[in-house]
Amino acid sequence: MRSNPADYELIAPGSVQAIVSLLAKEPGVWLPIAGGTDVMVQYAAGKLSARKLVSIWNLPELRSIEVTAGEICIGAGCTYTDLSGNEVIEREFPLLHSAARCTGGVANQNRGTIGGNIVNASPAADSLPALLAYDAELALVSVRGERRLPYEGFHTGYKKTLLAPDELVQALCLPRRFSEYFSYSRKVGARNAQAIAKLCIAALGLVGGGVVEDVRIAMGSVAPVPLRLIETERTVRGKAIDSDLLLLARTSAAAEIRPIDDIRSTARYRSVVAGNLVVEFLNRLSSDQRGARVGVKDVLADWNRLAVDQAISVIQPCCGSRVWAKAMVTGRPFADEAALLAASDQVWRNLARSDWMEAFRSHPRIGESRARSAESEAPAVTSPDQSVEWSAQEQRGVEDAAAAVKRALMEANREYERRFDRIFIVCATGKSAPEILEILRRRLNNDAETELHEGAEQQRQITQIRLKKWLQG
Ligand SMILES: Cc1cc2nc3c(=O)[nH]c(=O)nc-3n(C[C@H](O)[C@H](O)[C@H](O)COP(=O)(O)OP(=O)(O)OC[C@H]3O[C@@H](n4cnc5c(N)ncnc54)[C@H](O)[C@@H]3O)c2cc1C
């Protein structure tokens, strides 16, 4: 280690207010240190010019993730582990989620913060193209108060930003309007993990009526700052994705970036790969159903127009209760997915117990593929093919279970049926066989009333997942 610790001072005032007061008193003298994963590399290399460090690590004001109807605001002090563990980020901001998961190794993800990534301002940083694609805004704080500015434009040159010397990044806020977009990201490096990118891309796209409705493409390591490919976006917007457009997009991307030769790669390599990545993104966008916002809208609009009987049979596989299906059909037209999901919950909660039971009977036992009624062991009345297929997908975690676990599940299922006189219902999506077994054993201790409501809640969750799948075609 070439730096001498005795030359440095580190303090931890413990609140944002105290820290910004300190920065205001001696602007440019105190260097904030969050996770230290960039600062300590400079320190170890003897290149850390600041001698006075102020810790902003783990301050509650910088470590929260707040979700409102319109946006998600992520505290600048959130680590990559915080980001990848957040459900809303995983579901609605997959580009940021995957960037968090491929930044360094686990130790780095536990310590490195998103604020540090932004202010460190490396053009190769993994999360920054995602922030550009998602149209992020930054919330900055100082003794002068707070200000918000678009993240795009925050980096003014290589390792230069609009942050004033007395300011901290408090949070970054992403609008919640991209969840229907197809998303695509790639990190091209010597390895998938523990490697700085030679090039990275984060892109979002929407196809409607056979043409690109909207597209947002951002890249890292292709210019002195993380770059949005505005010209390439303009080139493809409003056009059908065909071989002519792919060629145009490739040429435009190569013209728009400003790559350099450095220790990780060459400008020429980066130019060729940037074009390849844009082409791969557009190819996937054109073939991925989820890229088409009209996919969800069309499915719903078509269903809104169907005759009553047909509409019932289409929606029935999402929930085996006929009364539920009829009420949903009566509630048409639904404007969007959110309205449909909310109506489903409301109808379900107000159903009679016998209707809940009917829905329960439409499921196969965990570990089986066909629905059976508990009483007769005969296949249940309503088990349309779509429902069978979804059940198989939901129970994927059980398929590969060890024989002993499967046997234990079978025995616990029988015990459950003896005790409650119906089959065990659990929202199995994403759960492994041992997890399901543990839940099943725990629920065997419930009294009848508690268990009925627990089963109903599980069915509610299953229905929500199936409705979303159905809408996505
Ligand atoms: C082994 C290793 C692997 C890595 N792999 C990757 C990788 O794959 N991808 C990648 O993008 N990066 C990688 N990095 C870089 C680093 O981990 C990230 O840039 C990280 O996000 C930095 O966050 P930090 O909290 O550690 O920042 P720090 O080192 O604490 O700070 C970095 C800079 O940001 C400033 N700063 C931090 N927070 C704020 C704030 N809230 N307001 C104002 N200024 C602030 C500091 O003053 C400093 O100038 C790696 C680093 C290491 C050591």
The structural domains of the chain, ordered by start, are: 1-176 (3.30.465.10), 182-291 (3.30.390.50), 296-471 (1.10.3330.10)
Binned at pLDDT 50, 70 and 90, residue 210 comes out as confident
pLDDT at 290 over 70: no
Residue 211 — pLDDT band, cuts 50, 70, 90?
A: confident
Q: Name the residue at shortest CA distance from atom 21 of ligand 1.
A: 117
Mean pLDDT of the chain: 90
Those residues whose C-beta lies under 8 Å from the C-beta of residue 4, and which sit 6 or more positions away, are none
Residue 160 has pLDDT above 70, yes or no: yes
Pocket probe mutation, ligand 1, options 10, 11, 108, 172, max atoms within 8 Å of Cβ: 108
What pLDDT does residue 59 have? Answer: 97
Q: Residues 236, 278: contact at Cβ < 8 Å?
A: no
Residue where the block lists tokens 């090039």: 199
DSSP label of 84: H
Given a cut of 70, whether residue 178 has pLDDT beyond it is yes
Half-sphere exposure of 185 (CA within 13 A, CB side): 27
Q: Which residues contact 120 (CB under 8 A, 6 or more apart)?
A: 38, 159
- What's the pLDDT tens digit per position in 450-470? 999 999 999 999 999 899 888
Residue whose Cα lies nearest atom 53 of ligand 1: it is: 37
- Answer yes or no: is pLDDT of 308 > 60: yes
Q: In whole angstroms, what is the distance from residue 136 CA to residue 150 CA?
A: 6
CA of 229 to the centre of ligand 1 (A): 25
Predicted local distance difference test score (pLDDT) of residue 261: 82
Instruction: Decide: 15 and 170 in contact? Cβ < 8 Å.
Output: no
Q: Which tokens in the block code for residue 174?
A: 């992403």
424 contacts: CB under 8 Å, gap ≥ 6: 365, 366, 412, 413, 416, 417, 440, 443, 455
What are the pLDDT digits (tens) for 253-276? 999 998 888 888 888 899 999 999
Give all strands of the β-sheet with 9-11 in edge-to-edge order: 9-11, 52-55, 30-33
Pocket of ligand 1 (CB under 6 A): 31-39, 41, 56, 76, 103-104, 108, 111-113, 115-117, 119-120, 125-126, 168-169, 196
Torsion sign (Cα): 55, 152, 90, 253: negative
Buried b (16+ CB within 10 A) or exposed e, 333-370: ebeebeebbebbeebbeebeeebbbbbbbbbbbbbeee
Probe residue for ligand 1, chosen from 113, 140, 225 as the CB with the greatest number of ligand atoms within 8 Å? 113
Buried b (16+ CB within 10 A) or exposed e, 9-26: eeeebeebeebbebbeee
Which atom, in ligand 1's list, is nearest to the CA of 31? 47
Average pLDDT estimate for 159-188:
95
